[in-house]
Structure formats: structure tokens, C-alpha cells
Amino acid sequence: MHLFSRLKGRLATLVAVLIAAVATAAAQSATPVMYVTADDGTETDETRYDGSAPMTARFEARPQGLGAYQARYEWRFTRQGQETPFLVRYDENTSYTFTESGQFSVELLVTFTLQGDTIEYVMDEPFSVNISESRLELPNVFTPNGDGINDVYRVKEGYKSIISFEATVFSRWGRKIYSWTDPAGGWDGRSGGSECPVGAYYLVVKAQGADGRRYNLKKTISLLRGYSEDTGGGSLP
């Protein structure tokens, strides 16, 4: 009699667990998000990114209805055209910096488990990341005359997917004048706080694109101060 009572009690407990699992099965899910970090450090919630590298994205799983369930997370980073992910992360939240050009998908799989009960979640649509091929062009002339136009020598607008960059300016006699390592930066025509004389300078740029392209550029650039948009008669190359 006691044995029957114990078995009856265990059966009741098992049935209760199964009923609870069935009742809450539909609640086990996730609402993953991808945050893309802009150049100014701000983040936006995106499902797709089309742009240049380097691009840092932050991913959050955001599980729903977890309750007593244990969750196992699996973020799969896959290049288009390949079946096997090049990277798998097992954290609930993760981040990744894309430094290569191409098309990528980021997919979240979550496995919820509770006393032998297993529920799997798969994203309906993976996040999409499209990194463009690199592009880098340099002007020939700049005019640091304080008019707010072309006062800083920098790479031309529209550069894309430059993951490493170093530019150095030399005088005609080979003396290093200035250097910078961010393609968004540039030279204001000064050295040691003083204005450099008008004339020709030698520029060396070493950079690498997300597509693997290497840039080794050497050219002569001109520093002009008497030129302005009002008197120059047009834009500078």
C-alpha cells in the first residue's frame, strides 16, 4: 500500500511537470537584436547592414518565457556561399567586428531544456551583413587658408572598407612633417604649431582594405594659401 502511494505520488509529480512543460512550450522563444555601431559611437537596431568595414555589431538573444528552463545559445556567423559557419559563439550576448568584405549572415539558435523536455528556437530570418569592397582616393591639393573649405588634407570622401591606414607627409628634403592613422583624419598644413610654407610636399600612404587589397601610395601634394573658392575659379583636384 505504501509502495502504491509512493508510485502514485511520483506519477502525479511527473504528470504535473509534463503539463507545465506543455502549457509553457509556446512561451519559450527569443527576440534577437543586432546593434550596429556608427563611426561616432552611436548604436542603432538593425536587421541588415550594407556598408564598409571595419564594422562592429553587438548581438543580444533576449530569451522569452525562460522560467525554469535552461537555455543554450548558439550564434552562427556564416559567409554567403558556405555551409559551415566561420565562427560560432555560445554566449547569450556577443559582439563581432567585421573586417573582411563580402556578404554574411548571423543566425541565433536557442535550445531550452527542462527535466528532459527540449524546445528549439531558430530565427525566421538571419541578420544580414554586406561589407563593400575597399576604395581609397587622394587629392592633389589643399588650401589651409581658414575659409573652411579644403583647409585639411585628407582622403577623398567616399572611401570604403579601409581597415588599416597610415599616412605620412615629408618635406622636399625628406624631413617628416606629419602623420595620421585614421582615414577620417588629416593634415592642417602645420608642423609643431606653425604654418608650413606654401609648396610641394611628399605623401606616403600605406593602407589595407577589407577585401585584402593593399595600398602603397606615393605622390606629391601641393599646399596653397592664396587660393579660395571665390578667386580660384573652381574646385581643386
Amino acid identity, residue 107? E
For the segment 130-179, what is each residue's pLDDT rounded down to a tens digit?
999 999 999 999 999 999 999 999 999 999 999 999 999 999 999 999 99
Greater model confidence, 63 or 8: 63
> pLDDT for 17-58, tens place per residue?
444 544 444 589 999 999 998 877 889 999 999 999 999 999
DSSP SS3 for 24: helix
Give the H or E element holding residue 25.
none
Task: List the strands of the sheet with 33-37, edge to edge.
Answer: 43-46, 33-37, 55-60, 93-98
Spatial separation of the C-alpha atoms in residues 151 and 235, rounded to whole Å: 13
* Mean residue pLDDT across the chain: 89
Query: Tens digits of per-residue pLDDT, 132-141?
Result: 999 999 999 9
**How many helices (H) and strands (E) would you count in the chain?**
2, 19
Distance between CA atoms of residues 58 and 169, nearest Å: 37
* pLDDT on residue 27: 83
**pTM of this structure:** 0.75
- Check pLDDT > 50 for residue 235: no
- Which pLDDT score, from 0 to 100, does residue 23 have? 46
- Ordered domains of the chain (ranges, CATH): 30-131 (2.60.40.10), 141-232 (2.60.40)
Residues 6+ apart with CB under 8 A from 12: none
